[in-house]
Amino acid sequence: MTEAATTTTTPSLNKFEKFKAEKDGLAVKAEIEKFASLGWEAMDETDRDHRLKWMGVFFRPVTPGKFMMRLRMPNGILSCEQMRVLAEVIQRYGDDACADITTRQNIQLRGIRIEDLPNIFDKFRAVGLTSVQSGMDNVRNITGDPLAGLDADELFDTRELVQQIQDMITNQGEGNPEFSNLPRKFNIAITGGRDNSVHAEINDLAFVPAFKEGQGEESEQKFGFNVLVGGFFSAKRCDAAIPLNAWVPPEDVVALCRAVLEVFRDRGLRANRQKSRLMWLIDEWGLEKFRAEVEKQFGKSLISAAAHDEIDWEKRDHIGVYKQKQPGLNYVGLHVPVGRLYAEDMFEIARLAEVYGSGEIRMTVEQNFVIPNIPDSRLEVFLTEDLLNKFTINPKPLTRSLVSCTGAQFCNFALIETKNRALAMIKALEAELELTRPVRIHWTGCPNSCGQPQVADIGLMGTKARKNGKAVDGVDIYMGGKVGKEAQLGTCVTKGVPCEDLQLVLRELLIEHFGARLPQPATV
Ligand code: SRM
Ligand code: SF4
């Protein structure tokens, strides 16, 4: 680290900076065996509640002793072999355990016991899985287009780049002390498609496809990426990413990620955790200075951005059956209600991917998954598989686009329960309304916005409301989120709606703004 980084660890810093300075989060990697024999109750609390997150292991105060594990899944892709390992890990905990597909194309496992960690990490290593640096002040799962390499209209296949960025940041999944003490979390997304499948605008650093006019003798247009910086959601502030006025060819993407991360690591603000995300540094310096510092770290001049990017489609959700660019092959998107999986589902998903496809499974940021590479000749039989009754390719319009964060069942930040409530509410609304198109409803249990209510048609953020003089579960309602081309964040339109009144309020919104109708009485 540079001098600037070391001078930031002064005694006036917040408690997170202090414990990071005392002992790096990654140090717990060498202590997993020790923790396993000690047990969670005897462990040092800072190691247990905070530093273990550097290994992707999250203490859950709501279910003490039953940890959550957050994987890394570059570009949202995993193999059936990896999926089976994840299923085996949670299977041993019976009804206590489940898994969730996350809003960053990733999987989290629940119910994990500390004594099993050495064995779990061995299993992960054997199939090339890693959970390293997936929580706390680290770079989160790097998202990419779930159709990379499949979509006839894509401009660039991002898979290799995403893997290279992850390898650079995590030292091939082993853990990298170079990037284990950032001022705060950091999100990276890269897309080579036309529909902004990754929500580029809500990432600290995003790469979107753009052609640059050739210069001098090179008159041909060159493919690369326009760079966006500073997008983030937090309880206090939410901002869409802004253009850095930089364009990079694919071969420079990894180096630019490194440069931006180094600037953030060494110069990012560390005093107040509410003001430590990248955008706060950009604000403090101004974009010009930030760009100049990145350029210095990058070691060569940044090329100015292409005049426009190639994000010119509405966002797709990938649910259903679609032709791939490879003749005779199809990808099928299955809908997973609020992303919740159980061990038996995961074994089945792995089996279907192996028997009908190429063994690959791809997660989406809508908490669903895609099985690619199913030949025409196998498609019909695939569609008769039992699992498609649970994870359908033809969900009802509100169910189809429902997204929900973890909520009170497992998350101690939650102000309300989300996943089960979201499903029950959508079912009730679908029973009483006729809808002709999907409406994207996102639930999030608190202002941290993990469920991204600001990108939704209707976003619901957990809060405490008042009804008849009593505090009750409630939501703030967001509207106007636009995804895909010309993405825009939604804003809060109504505060403090009690959950018990919400069905009625949503019914009215769906009728007024989204063309929903109450069934007409039959005429005689
Ligand atoms: Fe998140 C903290 C779950 C995506 C913003 N998030 C948490 C914690 C770790 C809090 C905790 O320790 O309990 C939650 C774990 C609960 C649990 O048991 O699952 C949690 N976040 C999630 C997931 C699982 C939601 C989901 O159901 O999909 C997502 C995991 C993604 C992944 O695979 O890595 C998840 N979180 C997000 C997103 C969405 C995104 O990245 O597109 C955001 C908003 C975007 C952003 O970060 O700019 C998000 N999570 C936060 C924040 C607010 C960050 C801030 O700067 O203030 C916190 C709180 C914090 O970091 O202090 C947080
Ligand atoms: Fe937990 Fe709040 Fe994130 Fe939901 S939004 S997972 S309740 S931190």
Give first-to-last CA distance, the chain, whole Å: 79
Same domain for 417 and 290?
A: no
Query: What is the number of other CB atoms lying within 10 angstroms of the CB of residue 11?
Result: 7
What are 167-205's pLDDT values in tens digits? 999 999 999 999 999 999 999 999 999 999 999 999 999
CB proximity list for 291: less than 8 A, separation 6 or greater: 244, 245, 246, 302
Res 3 pLDDT > 60: no
Buried b (16+ CB within 10 A) or exposed e, 216-230: eeeeeebbbbbbbbb
Domain assignment present for 344: no
- Mutation test residue for ligand 1: of 448, 454, 489, the one with most atoms within 8 Å of CB: 448
Res 56 pLDDT > 50: yes
Distance CA 333, CA 342 (A): 18
* pLDDT at 95 (0 to 100): 87
In a 3-state reduction of DSSP, which class is residue 328?
coil
Distance CA 283, CA 488 (A): 20
Domain assignment present for 469: yes
* pLDDT at 450 (0 to 100): 98
Written as six digits, the tokens of 218 are: 């090179």
Domain assignment present for 253: yes
Closest atom, ligand 2, to C-alpha of 412: 1
Taking the whole predicted model, whether its pTM rises above 0.85 is answered as yes
Closest atom, ligand 2, to C-alpha of 406: 6
In a 3-state reduction of DSSP, which class is residue 254?
helix
Q: Please give the torsion angle defined by the CA atoms of residues 479, 485, 486 and 489, in that order, rounded to the nearest 10 degrees.
A: 30
Consecutive H or E run containing 289? helix 287-298
Q: Which residue type, as a one-letter code, is found at position 253?
A: V
Domain assignment present for 343: no
Query: What is the number of other CB atoms lying within 10 angstroms of the CB of residue 351?
Result: 15
Closest atom, ligand 2, to C-alpha of 451: 5
Written as six digits, the tokens of 271 are: 């005093």
Domain assignment present for 125: no
Domain assignment present for 464: yes
Catalytic residues: 70, 184-185, 445, 450-451
Tell which of 298, 322, 339 closes a domain: 298
Same domain for 415 and 293?
A: no
Same domain for 163 and 288?
A: yes
Res 9 pLDDT > 70: no
Domain assignment present for 226: yes
* pLDDT at 218 (0 to 100): 65
Domain count, the chain: 2
C-alpha distance from residue 392 to each of 344, 369, 399, 462, 511 (Å): 16, 11, 10, 28, 26
Distance CA 323, CA 301 (A): 41
Res 8 pLDDT > 60: no
- Mutation test residue for ligand 1: of 450, 460, 478, 489, the one with most atoms within 8 Å of CB: 450
CATH of the domain at 230: 3.30.413.10
The finding on whether 408 has its CB within 6 A of some atom of ligand 2 is: no
What are 466-521's pLDDT values in tens digits? 999 999 999 999 999 999 999 999 999 999 999 999 999 999 999 999 999 998 87
414 CA to middle of ligand 2, Å? Answer: 5
Tell which of 280, 298, 316 closes a domain: 298
Question: How many helices and strands, by DSSP H and E, does the chain display?
Answer: 16, 22
Query: What is the number of other CB atoms lying within 10 angstroms of the CB of residue 45?
Result: 8
Written as six digits, the tokens of 138 are: 């680290």
Rg of the Cα atoms in the chain: 23
Which stretch of 1-15, 137-151, 240-254, 349-363 has the lowest confidence by average pLDDT? 1-15
The boundaries of the domain holding residue 493 are 400-514
Please compute the mean of the pLDDT values over residues 272-280 and round it to a whole number: 97
- Written in H, E and C, the secondary structure of 78-138 is EEHHHHHHHHHHHHCCHHHCEEEECCCCCEEEEEECHHHHHHHHHHHHHCCCECCCCCCCC
Contact 406, 485 (CB under 8 A): no
Partner residues linked to 360 by β-bridges: 79
The finding on whether 453 has its CB within 6 A of some atom of ligand 2 is: no
Consecutive H or E run containing 232? strand 232-233
DSSP letter at 204 equals S
Distance CA 73, CA 241 (A): 23
Strands 188-190 and 143-144, sheet pairing: parallel
Contact 455, 443 (CB under 8 A): no
Tell which of 278, 298, 318 closes a domain: 298
The finding on whether 406 has its CB within 6 A of some atom of ligand 1 is: yes
Res 272 pLDDT > 80: yes
Domain assignment present for 483: yes
Partner residues linked to 491 by β-bridges: 479
